[in-house]
Each structure stands twice: as C-alpha cells, then as structure tokens.
Structure 1
Amino acid sequence: MSERVIAPKSRGFLFLDSHPGGCRQLVDEMWQAVPAPVTAGGEGPVALVIGSSAGYGLAATIAGLARVGIRGIGVCFEKAPARRTGTAGWYRTAATARLARQHGRDMVFLNGDAFSDTVKEQVADLLAERFGGRLDFLIYSVAAPRRTDPDTGNVYASVLKPIGSPYTTKTLVFDEYGAPEVKEVTTAPAEGDDIEQTVAVMGGTDWERWITFLADRSLLADGFTTAALSYIGSPLTAAIYRQGTIGVAKSHLEATAHTLDERLGKTLGGRAVTSVNAAAVTQSSTAIPGIALYVGLLRGVLGDAMVAPIGQLVELWDQLTGARPLNLDDEGRVCLDTWELDPAVQNAVAERWSTATSDTITELADLDWFSDEVRRLYGFSVPGVDYTAPVETDVPWPTLTI
C-alpha cells in the first residue's frame, strides 16, 4: 500500500504526477456519457485499439465497449507507479478494464511499444488463443515522438515544424501564478530529413504493418474494417499543423488508407478509412504552438456545443458498425469535425484570434474550461473527487483474466 495526498504540480501544461482517483472518475464519466448500446445480447465484435489509453484512442476504447460491446485488445505505452505516480494513462487503463469486467466485456490491455513486432506477436497470439482467431475492427490512434523500425533498427523522431519558412504565431501560456498570457512564438522550419523522419513516425507505415502482420496470420475476419484517427484543423493553425511536417505525415496516413481500402476490399470485402476528428484538449495537442489558444477561443465561441471526444467516437463506431450510414468526404475520410470547421464558427474564432492579447484573452476564451481540461488529463479538477484525502497510487496493471 502506498497511499498519499497528491497535489497538482506542473511545468507548463505538463504535470509531474497523476491522480488515480481522478483518472478513475474521469473514465466513469466518459462511460456514462455513451448512449445505450446499439445491440443487445450476444458476443460483441472483436476489436483492437492501438493507442487505447489517452485522447481519442481512450474515447475509441470506451465508446466501443459501452456502445458496441466490443471485446478484444487495447495497446498502449505507459509508465508504472514508482517514485512518482504512474502515468495518467496507466490509471485510466486500470479504470477502463474495471468497467469492462463489470459489464462482462472481455478486454485485454497490453503495455508496450506498439511499433515493435514483439507487441504485434503478443496481439496475434491473443487473437488466436482468446478471441477465436478473428479480428473485426482495428482503430489506430498513435501519437508518438519516435519510432524504431523493426526491420532496420533505425530510430526516427517526429518534429512539429513548418515547411519552407519560420512560423510565428500567437500562443497561450500561464505564468507561475496561473495568470494567462498571450505571447508570440516563432518555430524554425523543417530542415534536413525532418519531414521524412516525421512521416516515418506519424504516417501510415506502422498502421499498414499492423494490417499486413495480422493478415499474414489469417487473423482478419471477412468484412474487416480499420480506421486511423486524424485531424485537419483550422486555417489559423494550418502552417504549423496541416501544412507542416505533421500535415505531411497525415497526408501519408490518408494515402495509406486508400491503399489499404483497395487491398481489404479485394481480399476480405473490408475497408480502411481515416477519421478526421475535431479539436480537443489532449496531451498531444497542448504541445503544438497556437493550439491551446485556438481551442480556448473555440470553446469561447461554441461553449457546450463543442463535441467531446467520447461523443465523436460514438459517432465513428455507429458509422463503422452500420448503425448509421458511413458518411465520407471526397477524399474518403469520415469527417467528425464539421461542427468545428463550419465557416461561421471559424470566422468567429478568427475574429477573436486577431484581437487576443493578454489583456483581452479572459473575455474571448473560456480559460476556466481550458485549464480544467488540462488538469483533467492528469486526473485533477474532476468533480466528486476529494483531493485532500490520501489515495492509493500503486494500482496494478489489469491482468489477462476476466
């Protein structure tokens, strides 16, 4: 037992510890936000969620369990409790596994490097031995700083850089007293092999490798469907995102979807798509210059009309399973971001962006909401949690038994 009181301590948007009780309550909230299951009784489809512990991958896991009744495997890469607490994803995974058991869902979670063939072998073995040797769905939601190529051993590192020229943008920061400041930051352009390295990490190479790996072992069911989660975003952030190094990687991901879709259609009557999700506060998005300011302003414009990740992933599962028609754009993407990119919304955000300063930001953006959302990523600012009480931090990773 290692109970202690955990106070939120941060460096910018990065928190040093996570709160197990808050993470558990947050997962409970997400599960409760999912509408009633679309099917009743019987065994649900077998699904693999790669990147299951955070952001949209976590939402995909919980929405799949609660809405569709999936069973299967979640893969993520989290740190166990030690001198500090475990990572928030460690505690969220434990909480998700607990709810899955309570609802009779056979969901196994593996902690390891999803880029490695070792983890792919573990998944393949589990699918063969535990889940009848078939996989119906694969959701790919990986945001990582680096990737080791299993064939060559080369290590690639992704970067967030514009292409061609430096990029200067407004960004939102908070000083040591928590006061908001709007500053300008400049990011140097990509150089050398920055673009190729980023594509090697964040493009479609590993997604395709997963499909090939499992197909070679005859583990993909007839009608197998896979979706990789992506983002386009606003013109306000395009230079650093969609037109930058990450944008090239996302384009590679979408090209991979077309290749996989043709292949799966011919061999299994299946399909592959990318799902373009909308803006949210995630551990990945807060690292991108300008995104914090943009999301705060977006919330200021939309308020509760913003659709949370769990709501977006319910919509995606409904489309993938046929509960609703599959709604694709001209590029073959499932677009869950139409509410964000509505011209009236974008015009309103752009107007606020142009006048945002340290003096005006509290009037233009919903900073209380934004600050709470950042803290909730680590299990803080979750209603119903007593943060003055000691909490057990040594939470075990969920076992394989159900």
Structure 2
Amino acid sequence: MKVEPKIREFICTTAHPEGCREYVRRQIAYVRSQERKKGRKQEPKKVLVIGASTGYGLASRITAGFGCGAATIGIMFEKPSNGKRTATPGWYNTAAYEEEAQKAGLYAKSINGDAFSKAVKEETIALIKRDWGKADMVIYSLAAPRRTDTQGKTWVSALKTTGKPFTEKSMDLRNHTIVTKTVEPAAEEEVEGTKKVMGGEDWLDWIKALKVADVLEDNALTVAYSYIGPRLTYPIYYDGTIGQAKRHLEKTARVIREEFPDVRALISVNKALVTQASAAIPIVPLYFAVLYGVMKEAHTHEGCIEQMVRLFREKLLEENPPTDEAGRIRMDDWELEEHIQSRVWEIWEQVTTENVENLADIQGYWEDFYHMFGFGFENVDYEKDVEIEIGIPSINFAE
C-alpha cells in the first residue's frame, strides 16, 4: 500500500511505517554519537516509561536504552493497522524501537493499553516481577485528552484560560495566515477535569501501585515532564487550565517524596517542541515557529532527543540534580534566555500573513510535524508500496 500524509486541521490521520522506523533510527544514531559520561554511579538499568511511544517519552526510552544500556518497558495506547488504515505513529515507533533494541542486545517489551487503568498497572507489575524483579527508574510522560479514574469516572481536559478571555495572534496551520484567536475561560469543572487528566494524580497512583507490589528498587528515581513557557503564552498555558494541571503535577512530586522517602521524585520542565498535543493549542504553533527560527539562529535549538540526552547526561542522573527554587529541573533554560525571548517578542510584534514565511521557521515547524508521522525523510521512498500491518515483537507476550 502506498501511504501519503492526510492532514486534518492539526493532526495527520496516516503514518508511514518506514518513515517512523527512520525517525527512531535517527534518534538512536544521535544517542550513540554522544559520548557517555564516565564514572557515573546513577545510570538506570531497568526503566519503566509510561507514555513511551511518541515525543519526549519515546526520546526518553531511546536515551535510557541506547545511552545507558537500560532494559525498558514501555506503556503506550496505540492502534495497530486494520489492513485498510495505517497504524498510529506510536505503534510503528514502538515496533522500530523493539527491533533495534533486539539487534543491540537490549531488553525491550511494551504494553498497549490505557495507562490510567488498574488493569494496565497490574499487567505492568506482573511483567516487572517476572522479568526484572524491580525497576530503578519510572518516567511519566503521558499526554491524553481524557481519563477514567479508578472509581470509573471519566474526566475530560480543556485548553482554556482561567479568569478572563485571552485574545492574541495565532497561525492558521491550513494556509499559514495570521489570525486573531480568542480563548474563553474555563468553567470550574473544566479546570478540575484538566487537573484530573494532566495533573499528578495518576503519577501518584502508579508509584503507589509499584511500591505496594514491591517492584521499585530502594532510592528509585521517577521523573514527570512539564512545560512553563514564556509570559507571552502564560494566559493560555501556565496560567490556563493546563498550567493548573502542571502545578498539581509539581505538588505531586512533593507528595511522592513525603509518602515514599526512598523514591526520588523530580519534575523536568522541558523546552517548547512540536508534538501531537502542542499542535492543538491556539497561539502556541506560531510561537513555536518564531522560537525555532530564533534558537536555530543562536545554535541552541534542540529536538526531543537532544533535550533528553542533555537531561540524562547533565542533570537527571547527577547525584544532586541541579534544580530551581521550586525544585524543578529546567530544560527550558535555553528557550527562556533573555536574548532569545527578546528577539521572539520583537518578531511577534512584527509578524503578519505577508511576512510570516520570512520571520518564522514555518519550514522547521512542518518538518517536525511531518517527521512525527514518518513523513518528510529524504532517504525514504514514499512512492513505494509498504506493508502497513507491522507487528511489535513483545506485544503478544504482554497480552
């Protein structure tokens, strides 16, 4: 079957299996090209990645496996091909990761299901007991629109402000025109729903379940990912419903440390990057495109894999990881440098439909977008028929 990208608003409804394989291979190649820090005692050996199939979660799994030699279990919620439609990109990414891990002699198994559910937690615990005994690192990297909690109630997240409406420039991804978007304030139940879905409640549930089952090593490390962003996006992000959820996530790190003193719980605040989740947020894609251009000009731009390699090498695995006054690791340090943000704001005030192609890195934005779905790689022949029904080596075992 010949697979082409089919774009609907801010998502692509197809994925290319060979392109996704290339996407994973390039990240592995980058990790292998980086010299490992010598004499480190903190390198993990058995890593559970919750949300392991795309974005920062996938990059974390690749960095742990090919950068630290760690065995990994990845939790994902992806759809395989039905023979007529392609699988989701995360399915193909996971298949590619497991294939490359097998070649490298690395343990890699995956579980496909709702990470919020009790059933997937129990399945994961059983796999850890059977194959590892205990895990020494848990990476929490979930991004989901809804969650059904342990009481059976379904919560839905909302991309809204809190307090009052917010109006600002945005970019229509269909034609690159600069438009004005107004984001309305959330109702109280929408704020609560977003905290339930994107906050720290499920992260804490995971750690509790793993501790009760005695499948975490003493002094195990767990890290969850967050984003703050610049003041420009505060109304829609940090001061919006998502920001309320991220504050809850930060509080949860403190709760985990208090309830389980032998678990080191950290938050890593990461850089703005194109992901399937971020593409849906009004105003944000235009900011990303402007930021990309500025950071590339300054030679400080990083993608997911570069961020995760720097996180592991320079911060997360240190005996005393460097944190800010709130106890967070700041991987957005380069993004928020004053000279970077000053230049972003200067461009932001100037950008129009007529000059956006010149002032913002539209090409870079779309390159990252298409790569997420396996498209846009110059060494992949997209005219060829490809097999879309790709298996994941460990899934039959996990199921």
Q: Do residues 28 (structure 1) and 25 (structure 2) align?
A: yes
The secondary structure found in structure 1 opposite 2:352 is coil
Shift of 1:392: 0.9
Cα deviation for residue 38 of structure 1 reads 4.5
Q: Within 5 Å, give how 1:131-170 maps onto structure 2.
A: 131=132, 133-150=133-150, 152-170=151-169
Alpha-carbon distance, 1:362 to partner: 1.0
Aligned to 1:196: 192
Conserved? CA contact 1:50–1:74, under 8 Å = yes
Return the alpha-carbon distance in structure 1 between the equivalents of residues 135 and 303 of structure 2.
28
How far is the alpha carbon of 1:79 from its aligned partner?
Answer: 0.7
Q: Unpaired segments of 5 or more residues in structure 1?
A: none
Distance (Å, rounded) in 2 between the aligned partners of 1:234 and 1:398:
42
Structure-to-structure mapping, 1:277-356, within 5 angstroms: 277-303=270-296, 304-318=299-313, 319-322=315-318, 326-356=321-351
Q: Where does residue 126 of structure 1 map in the other structure?
A: 127
Write out aligned runs for 1:217-232 (5 A).
Answer: 217-232=213-228
Q: Trace 1:40-79 onto structure 2 (pairs within 5 A).
A: 45-79=45-79
> Do residues 245 (structure 1) and 238 (structure 2) align?
no
Give 1:17's aligned residue.
14
Matched letter for residue 65 of structure 1: G
Distance between the aligned counterparts of 2:304 and 2:5, measured in 1? Answer: 24
Shift in Å at residue 221 of structure 1?
0.4
1:172 equivalent in structure 2 = 171
Query: In structure 1, what is the Cα distance between the partners aligned to 2:284 and 2:379?
Result: 29
Q: Distance in 2 between matches of 1:281 and 1:22?
A: 17
Contact 2:44/2:136 (<8 A) preserved: no
State the 1:12 CA deviation: 2.2
Query: 1-side partners of 2:62 and 2:111: how far apart?
Result: 16
- Aligned residues: CA RMSD: 1.7
Map Cα deviations across residues 164-185 of structure 1 (whole Å, 9 max, x no partner). Answer: 111112111244xxx4211111
> Normalization by structure 1: what TM-score?
0.93
> Aligned partners of 2:6 and 2:44: how far apart in 1?
41
- Matches of 2:173 and 2:50 in 1, distance apart? 33
Given that 1:68 and 1:317 are in contact with CA atoms closer than 8 Å, whether structure 2 keeps it comes out as: no
Describe the shift of the 1:44–1:257 C-alpha distance in structure 2 as closer, same or farther (beyond 3 A). closer
After TM superposition, the score normalised by the length of structure 2 is 0.94
Aligned residue in 1 for 2:268: 275
Q: How many equivalent pairs are there? A: 388
> Sequence identity, in percent?
40
Counterparts of 1:285 and 1:44 in 2: how far apart (Å)?
29
Q: Within 5 Å, which residues of 2 pair with 1:72-111?
A: 72-82=72-82, 83-111=84-112
Q: Distance in 1 between matches of 2:211 and 2:180?
A: 48
| Structure 1 residue ranges, 4+ long, deviating more than 3 angstroms after superposition | 36-40
Residue 230 to residue 254, structure 1, CA distance change in 2 (3 Å): same
Deviations 1:155-204 (A, max 9, x none): 000000001111112111244xxx42111111211014111111011100
Query: 1:340–1:346: 8 Å Cα contact kept in structure 2?
Result: yes
Of 367, 380, 390, the residue aligned with 1:385 is: 380
